[in-house]
Amino acid sequence: MIFVRNFSVSAPSKFHLTLASSTGANLYTVEALKAMCRWVKQFKDLDSVNNDCSVHTLAGHIASIAGVDCEDLTPEHLDSALQLLTLCSPYIYSGNFTASCLYISCPGIPEYCTSMNSVFQILTYLSDKSFTESGNLRYAHVMIPLLDSSPERALEFYDEFSRDYDSALLDLVGADAKIIAKLQTRYTYTDLIYIYISAALVVTLSYLYMHSMILAIALVLDIVFSCGLAYFFYFIIFRLAFFPTLNFAALLIVISIAADDLFLFYNIWMQHRNVEENDVATTLSLTFKHAAMSTFTTSFTTASALYVSTISNITIIKCFAVFSGTAIICDLILMVTFIPAMLILHDKASKC
């Protein structure tokens, strides 16, 4: 699940969704619950929904407690149900009222709490814990039975449902854990367009600043080779099998560092190359003398800071630290080997 604070949710055989008020208001109102009833009808006709099983919603269970149809709920029904839920909630949250109490007698649990399954369902699965304390419902849970609850089919249901979702009072704010990884991957690949745009802007500005297509292409190759080599070390040398989507953020770090280092090399190269008595070898030597140490210091300290993050207990942070740090080291190696060669090639091309 995407867990919302104060939620207590289980029931893995069903697909889970979390709702909130679109205005941040209390969901425990007649209007919001009736909207929830209409909302359920939007997906009950979908082919992937198992209509032989019940859809569990707060509105449906409140109506069950009141003994009326969902669309016939009144403020009096809500007040009466809230009183019952408030009386029974201490037994749920203390752990004394379990699912078995619905079928066998549990000492100390009042019969009015166990006589209806809806009380247990609402307090355990469908509402947040602060609901009975304040009467203010921030989040409501929905459990939907699917014919096939595999991650692939669940994602198809989510896509189909969210495409047709329409409610002025309710916002869909959470979804089942089985589709989270797939959604993250999908959104990551979609958002890569922003990294491509930033890379294109950096390369374009580099070309406008240095007036050299050769160096602009060199910057692109440096970024690609740095990330490619880091990817090789990550899987082949370090033998890390898990590649979290956060690792794609390393591209932004490499793009910025590579551009800064190239500008540094270019500026120092041009300063010494404009001195008449300096030939290519002398210019290259002087450029290395002034730029190499600065490049090494900035890249090494950044990579070291990232590698230190591998002591984190969070796996995703560890993986990001390894991949990003390695990409920066690869960029440093290319910056002192590949880029000087491209500067010489640029120098020869500019003389033609």
Banded pLDDT at 164 (limits 50, 70, 90): low
- CATH number, domain of 225, equals 1.20.1640.10
Instruction: Tell me which of 202 and 153 has the higher pLDDT.
Output: 202
Banded pLDDT at 46 (limits 50, 70, 90): confident
Banded pLDDT at 325 (limits 50, 70, 90): very high
Q: What is the pLDDT of residues 73-104, one digit of tens each?
A: 999 999 999 999 999 999 998 989 998 998 88
pLDDT at res. 165: 66
State the residue range of the domain holding 45: 15-175
pLDDT at res. 286: 92
Same domain, 247 and 289: yes
Banded pLDDT at 5 (limits 50, 70, 90): very low
The structural domain count of the chain equals: 2
Same domain, 287 and 321: yes
Query: Is residue 247 assigned to a domain?
Result: yes
Average pLDDT on 249-263 reads 95
What are the E-state strand segments in 65-175?
139-144, 170-175
Domain boundary among 147, 175, 203: 175
Same domain, 202 and 164: no
Q: For all residues of the chain together, what is the average pLDDT?
A: 88
Q: What is the pLDDT of residues 135-152, one digit of tens each?
A: 889 999 888 888 887 888
Report the DSSP beta bridge partners of residue 87: none
Query: Is residue 30 assigned to a domain?
Result: yes
Q: What is the pLDDT of residues 203-229, one digit of tens each?
A: 999 999 999 999 999 999 999 999 999
Domain boundary among 175, 207, 236: 175
pLDDT at res. 11: 45
- DSSP SS3 for 28: coil
pLDDT at res. 116: 86
Query: Within 13 Å and on the Cβ side, how many CA atoms surround 121?
Result: 19
Same domain, 99 and 200: no
Query: Is residue 344 assigned to a domain?
Result: yes
Average pLDDT on 35-47 reads 79
pLDDT at res. 166: 65
pLDDT at res. 7: 35
Average pLDDT on 280-288 reads 92
Q: Cα(245)–Cα(48) distance, rounded to whole angstroms? A: 29
> Quick one: how many helices (H) and strands (E) in the chain?
13, 4
Query: Is residue 8 assigned to a domain?
Result: no
Same domain, 273 and 326: yes
With 90 as the cut, is the pLDDT of residue 128 above it?
no
Query: Is residue 1 assigned to a domain?
Result: no
Domain boundary among 144, 175, 206: 175
Q: What is the pLDDT of residues 335-346, one digit of tens each?
A: 999 999 999 999
Banded pLDDT at 21 (limits 50, 70, 90): confident
Query: Is residue 251 assigned to a domain?
Result: yes
What are the φ/ψ torsions at residue 18 (nearest 5 degrees)? Answer: -120, 130
Average pLDDT on 328-336 reads 96
Average pLDDT on 148-165 reads 79
Banded pLDDT at 6 (limits 50, 70, 90): very low
Same domain, 197 and 337: yes
Same domain, 266 and 290: yes
DSSP H or E stretch at residue 325: helix 315-351
Q: Cα(221)–Cα(331) distance, rounded to whole angstroms? A: 10
Q: Cα(134)–Cα(127) distance, rounded to whole angstroms? A: 12
Query: Is residue 131 assigned to a domain?
Result: yes
Same domain, 204 and 263: yes
Residues sharing a CB contact under 8 Å with residue 176, sequence separation 6 or more, in sequence order: 1, 2, 15, 16, 17, 154, 158
